[in-house]
Chain A
């Protein structure tokens, strides 16, 4: 019974994910071509809500960017662009 439960739940998740993905498809763009604002919107929400740029100062964003590079395995390019965007948007 437990195995069936697991399979049913896994199946529902899979179907929902496929349906949602198909319904919300957008053109692919290489990460290198994306601006910081887009990367901020796409990456932060993978774990938590996207932070408000005004929540921290430029120097604080630098420390947070480094922390997220380690914790969330963001690439160097992603972190640099996101921190640059947040530092500009918090004026």
Chain B
């Protein structure tokens, strides 16, 4: 509670400061969302989260950005730091960033996840916390956008504190997830390695309607001095975006897709239940494809504000691991845009746990859910 009062006091002070003239530019932005989730067995109000974003433009070359995530979960209020970093514009095509930042591993984690931007009330399978591939990191990054004739490209290279392999040796740290990579290690799982990564993207058309991106990420993930110290992780992502107003459809078509893959080198782990040794091909992947259509030129404010959206996503964790999974999800919905940053989403989603759930004795699991969600950008 004390933290919340402190945050409110800081925000109030900074909002007051923005009325003062001067070279500095401060802005409080962010987003909030909340809604109702209805399943066969229960209906629950979900979300209830508020993400203030602090922007401080110190000068023409310096920018500070930070985002907090304040959410209600299990009756408790949790506060987390999504990112906090300083950016310095070196020249027209190069920007240096230092701090904690969203990683350009694909496009979803960095640009498309905020509730008022994401067309769905949920994230695709494998694109949330504990997903496939990194989402944020603490380190240094060089990035920029470069015109290439009538086309354009962007790039990013970074070095961050590396992720850590859960080798299953510590019974207090989810030993059933041995082989899984923890991208944001906390507490006892302190990172000793550095990870390198980057993304290049090409926008081949002069109207910037299409973007194709390729991302890579590499790190040692084993703890030094253990049998896992040579275990490495290589992850990569391919992302695609196409947004275009199409005259014969009287509207805007928006296509988004991304494929994430994670390959961890071979290692033997100990089963925490019977102490037996086992190994598996430690490859994970997830992908999604999303299509939305908004008829912005139908001549009626109501119909112009509607948007139809569909998404298919899939997640695969390694076969043979104690945490193996093979899931697919289909979501379809209709959104109503109150204005350009306020949206009400009505979504029907079906998640299929797949064959592995059946093999493990849990039976074929298919969970239907209906969401009514309001997302608000400010």
Chain A interface (Cβ within 8 Å of chain B)?
2, 5-6, 9-10, 13, 16-17, 20-21, 23-24, 26, 28-32, 42-43, 45-52, 55-56, 59-60, 62-64, 66-67, 69-78
Contact = CB atoms under 8 A, between A and B. Distances in A.
Interface of B: 18, 25-27, 29, 55-57, 63, 65, 87, 89, 92-93, 95, 97, 110-112, 116-117, 143-147, 149-150, 152, 154-156, 201, 205-211, 240-248, 252-255, 257, 287, 289, 291, 312, 314, 316, 326, 328, 337, 339-341, 377
B340 A49 contact: yes
Contact of A46 (B26, B63, B243): B243
A70 B314 contact: no
Nearest to A51: B340
A76 B255 CA distance: 27
A47 B111 contact: yes
A77 B340 contact: no
A83 B112 CA distance: 22
23 contacts: A5-B328, A9-B312, A13-B255, A21-B205, A21-B210, A21-B242, A28-B205, A29-B206, A31-B206, A45-B254, A47-B112, A62-B57, A63-B25, A63-B55, A67-B57, A69-B89, A70-B97, A73-B154, A73-B155, A75-B92, A75-B93, A77-B92, A78-B145
B150 A29 contact: yes
Contacts of A56: 27
Nearest to B208: A42
Q: Which 6 A-B pairs have the closest CB atoms?
A: A73-B154, A73-B145, A63-B25, A49-B340, A28-B206, A63-B27
Given A10-B257, A51-B340, A60-B25, 5 more contacts: A17-B242, A23-B246, A29-B206, A42-B207, A59-B25
Contact of B210 (A10, A17, A51): A17
A64 B154 CA distance: 19
A17 B291 CA distance: 11
A16 B253 CA distance: 10
A24 B246 contact: yes
Nearest to B242: A17
Given A64-B27, A67-B55, A28 B337 contact: no
A45 B340 CA distance: 10
B255 A50 contact: no
Contact of A64 (B55, B328, B341): B55
Given A20-B242, A21-B210, A31-B152, A49 B255 contact: no
A6 B314 contact: yes
Contacts of A17: 210, 240, 242, 255
A5 B289 CA distance: 12
A30 to B, nearest CB: 5
B289 A71 contact: no
A76 B152 CA distance: 12
A48 to B, nearest CB: 5
Nearest to B155: A73
Given A45-B243, A66-B63, A16 B206 contact: no
Given A20-B242, A62-B57, A64-B27, A43 B110 contact: no
A75 B208 contact: no
B314 A2 contact: yes
Contacts of A55: 340-341
A70 B87 contact: yes
Contacts of A6: 287, 314
Given A6-B314, A49-B340, A70-B143, A60 B27 contact: yes
B113 to A, nearest CB: 10
B186 to A, nearest CB: 26
Contact of A62 (B25, B152, B201, B243): B25
Contacts of A48: 116-117, 340-341, 377
A46 B256 CA distance: 10
B154 A13 contact: no
